[in-house]
Amino acid sequence: MILYIVRHSDAVPSGTPGIPEDGRPLTDKGIRKIREVARGLRTINVEPELILTSPLPRARETAAVLAEVLSGPVPVIVTEALSPMCSRPELYRELKAQRKLESLMIVGHQPSLGEIAAEIAWGSAGNYIELKKGGACALELVKLDPVPSGTMLWLLTPAIMRQLGS
Protein backbone atom coordinates (compact mmCIF):
# COMPACT_ATOMS: atom_id res chain seq x y z
CA MET A 1 0.00 0.00 0.00
CA ILE A 2 1.13 3.54 -0.74
CA LEU A 3 0.31 5.90 2.13
CA TYR A 4 0.15 9.61 1.34
CA ILE A 5 0.36 11.88 4.37
CA VAL A 6 -0.82 15.50 3.97
CA ARG A 7 -0.87 18.26 6.56
CA HIS A 8 -3.87 20.60 6.49
CA SER A 9 -3.49 23.95 4.73
CA ASP A 10 -3.40 27.47 6.23
CA ALA A 11 -6.16 28.03 8.78
CA VAL A 12 -7.55 30.98 10.70
CA PRO A 13 -4.88 31.85 13.31
CA SER A 14 -5.00 30.24 16.72
CA GLY A 15 -6.51 32.62 19.27
CA THR A 16 -8.79 34.39 16.79
CA PRO A 17 -11.66 35.85 18.85
CA GLY A 18 -14.88 33.89 18.57
CA ILE A 19 -13.28 30.82 16.95
CA PRO A 20 -12.36 27.90 19.20
CA GLU A 21 -9.03 26.15 18.56
CA ASP A 22 -10.73 22.98 17.33
CA GLY A 23 -13.10 24.97 15.10
CA ARG A 24 -10.58 26.90 13.01
CA PRO A 25 -11.43 26.69 9.28
CA LEU A 26 -9.12 27.22 6.33
CA THR A 27 -8.56 30.77 5.19
CA ASP A 28 -9.32 31.77 1.59
CA LYS A 29 -5.56 31.74 1.00
CA GLY A 30 -5.35 28.25 2.53
CA ILE A 31 -8.06 26.98 0.19
CA ARG A 32 -6.31 28.50 -2.81
CA LYS A 33 -2.96 27.01 -1.78
CA ILE A 34 -4.31 23.50 -1.20
CA ARG A 35 -6.00 23.60 -4.63
CA GLU A 36 -2.60 24.37 -6.15
CA VAL A 37 -0.98 21.61 -4.06
CA ALA A 38 -3.67 19.16 -5.22
CA ARG A 39 -2.98 20.04 -8.86
CA GLY A 40 0.72 19.34 -8.20
CA LEU A 41 -0.12 16.00 -6.61
CA ARG A 42 -2.29 15.15 -9.61
CA THR A 43 0.65 16.00 -11.90
CA ILE A 44 2.81 13.37 -10.17
CA ASN A 45 -0.02 10.82 -10.39
CA VAL A 46 -1.10 10.73 -6.75
CA GLU A 47 -4.34 8.73 -6.91
CA PRO A 48 -5.59 7.66 -3.48
CA GLU A 49 -8.51 5.27 -3.38
CA LEU A 50 -9.66 6.75 -0.07
CA ILE A 51 -8.88 9.77 2.12
CA LEU A 52 -9.04 9.53 5.91
CA THR A 53 -9.18 12.89 7.67
CA SER A 54 -9.16 14.44 11.11
CA PRO A 55 -12.57 15.70 12.24
CA LEU A 56 -11.29 19.28 12.72
CA PRO A 57 -12.59 21.75 10.10
CA ARG A 58 -9.16 22.73 8.75
CA ALA A 59 -8.33 19.09 7.98
CA ARG A 60 -11.81 18.19 6.68
CA GLU A 61 -11.75 21.19 4.32
CA THR A 62 -8.25 20.26 3.12
CA ALA A 63 -9.38 16.67 2.47
CA ALA A 64 -12.46 17.89 0.58
CA VAL A 65 -10.36 20.01 -1.79
CA LEU A 66 -7.90 17.15 -2.35
CA ALA A 67 -10.77 14.72 -3.03
CA GLU A 68 -12.27 17.10 -5.57
CA VAL A 69 -9.09 18.01 -7.45
CA LEU A 70 -7.26 14.68 -7.54
CA SER A 71 -8.09 11.99 -10.10
CA GLY A 72 -11.85 12.29 -9.76
CA PRO A 73 -14.07 12.21 -6.71
CA VAL A 74 -12.23 10.35 -3.94
CA PRO A 75 -14.26 9.12 -0.94
CA VAL A 76 -13.45 10.88 2.34
CA ILE A 77 -13.94 9.34 5.78
CA VAL A 78 -13.65 11.40 8.97
CA THR A 79 -11.89 9.54 11.78
CA GLU A 80 -11.11 10.45 15.37
CA ALA A 81 -7.88 8.48 14.90
CA LEU A 82 -6.43 11.55 13.13
CA SER A 83 -7.53 14.15 15.68
CA PRO A 84 -4.62 16.07 17.26
CA MET A 85 -4.72 14.27 20.61
CA CYS A 86 -5.26 10.74 19.27
CA SER A 87 -2.73 7.95 19.64
CA ARG A 88 -0.80 6.38 16.78
CA PRO A 89 -2.06 2.85 17.64
CA GLU A 90 -5.63 4.02 16.95
CA LEU A 91 -4.60 5.24 13.49
CA TYR A 92 -2.66 2.04 12.83
CA ARG A 93 -5.84 0.05 13.50
CA GLU A 94 -7.56 2.24 10.87
CA LEU A 95 -4.73 1.54 8.39
CA LYS A 96 -5.07 -2.21 9.00
CA ALA A 97 -8.82 -1.96 8.31
CA GLN A 98 -7.94 -0.52 4.86
CA ARG A 99 -5.28 -3.12 4.05
CA LYS A 100 -6.92 -4.13 0.75
CA LEU A 101 -6.37 -0.67 -0.75
CA GLU A 102 -3.41 0.00 -2.99
CA SER A 103 -3.26 3.69 -2.00
CA LEU A 104 -4.58 5.67 0.93
CA MET A 105 -4.25 9.33 1.93
CA ILE A 106 -4.44 10.68 5.47
CA VAL A 107 -4.96 14.37 6.30
CA GLY A 108 -4.25 15.73 9.75
CA HIS A 109 -2.00 17.76 12.01
CA GLN A 110 1.55 18.19 13.20
CA PRO A 111 3.35 16.85 15.12
CA SER A 112 1.41 13.58 14.91
CA LEU A 113 1.69 13.24 11.12
CA GLY A 114 5.45 13.72 11.29
CA GLU A 115 5.68 11.15 14.07
CA ILE A 116 3.64 8.66 12.03
CA ALA A 117 5.86 9.13 8.98
CA ALA A 118 9.04 8.74 11.04
CA GLU A 119 7.83 5.65 12.85
CA ILE A 120 6.83 3.97 9.58
CA ALA A 121 10.01 4.93 7.68
CA TRP A 122 12.63 4.77 10.45
CA GLY A 123 11.09 2.75 13.25
CA SER A 124 10.97 5.64 15.70
CA ALA A 125 8.62 8.59 16.15
CA GLY A 126 11.36 10.42 18.07
CA ASN A 127 12.88 12.08 15.00
CA TYR A 128 9.64 13.19 13.45
CA ILE A 129 9.36 14.77 10.03
CA GLU A 130 8.38 18.42 9.87
CA LEU A 131 5.56 18.81 7.37
CA LYS A 132 4.71 22.39 6.47
CA LYS A 133 1.04 23.34 6.11
CA GLY A 134 -0.05 21.72 2.87
CA GLY A 135 3.13 19.60 2.77
CA ALA A 136 3.03 15.91 1.92
CA CYS A 137 5.01 12.71 1.85
CA ALA A 138 4.51 9.24 0.42
CA LEU A 139 5.45 5.95 2.07
CA GLU A 140 5.35 2.45 0.68
CA LEU A 141 4.05 0.22 3.46
CA VAL A 142 5.63 -3.23 3.52
CA LYS A 143 3.92 -4.45 6.69
CA LEU A 144 1.06 -3.35 8.92
CA ASP A 145 1.51 -5.59 11.97
CA PRO A 146 2.26 -4.97 14.77
CA VAL A 147 3.35 -1.43 13.79
CA PRO A 148 3.38 -0.29 10.16
CA SER A 149 6.76 -0.07 8.51
CA GLY A 150 7.92 0.89 5.08
CA THR A 151 10.02 3.12 2.89
CA MET A 152 9.85 6.86 2.37
CA LEU A 153 9.24 7.44 -1.34
CA TRP A 154 9.18 11.24 -1.32
CA LEU A 155 8.72 14.31 0.86
CA LEU A 156 7.61 17.54 -0.81
CA THR A 157 7.07 21.05 0.43
CA PRO A 158 3.86 22.84 -0.55
CA ALA A 159 5.89 25.29 -2.63
CA ILE A 160 7.31 22.47 -4.77
CA MET A 161 3.88 20.89 -5.24
CA ARG A 162 2.32 24.23 -6.19
CA GLN A 163 5.13 24.69 -8.76
CA LEU A 164 4.42 21.23 -10.16
CA GLY A 165 0.75 22.11 -10.52
CA SER A 166 1.23 25.41 -12.29
Percent of the chain with pLDDT over 90: 80
End-to-end CA distance of the chain: 28
At 34, the pLDDT band (50, 70, 90 cuts) reads very high
Number of structural domains the chain divides into: 1
Q: Is residue 17 a part of any domain in this protein?
A: no
Q: Is residue 157 a part of any domain in this protein?
A: yes
Alpha helices in the chain (DSSP H): 28-43, 57-69, 88-97, 112-122, 158-165
Q: Is residue 46 a part of any domain in this protein?
A: yes
Q: Is residue 93 a part of any domain in this protein?
A: yes
Cα gap 162→127, rounded to integer Å: 27
Q: Is residue 99 a part of any domain in this protein?
A: yes
> Over 80: is that where the pLDDT of 72 sits?
no
CATH code of residue 27: 3.40.50.1240
Please tell me the pTM assigned to this model. 0.95
The whole-number average pLDDT for the span 88-110 is 94
At 152, the pLDDT band (50, 70, 90 cuts) reads very high
Q: Which domain holds residue 86?
A: 2-12+22-165
The reported pLDDT for the residue numbered 22 is 86
Cα gap 26→45, rounded to integer Å: 25
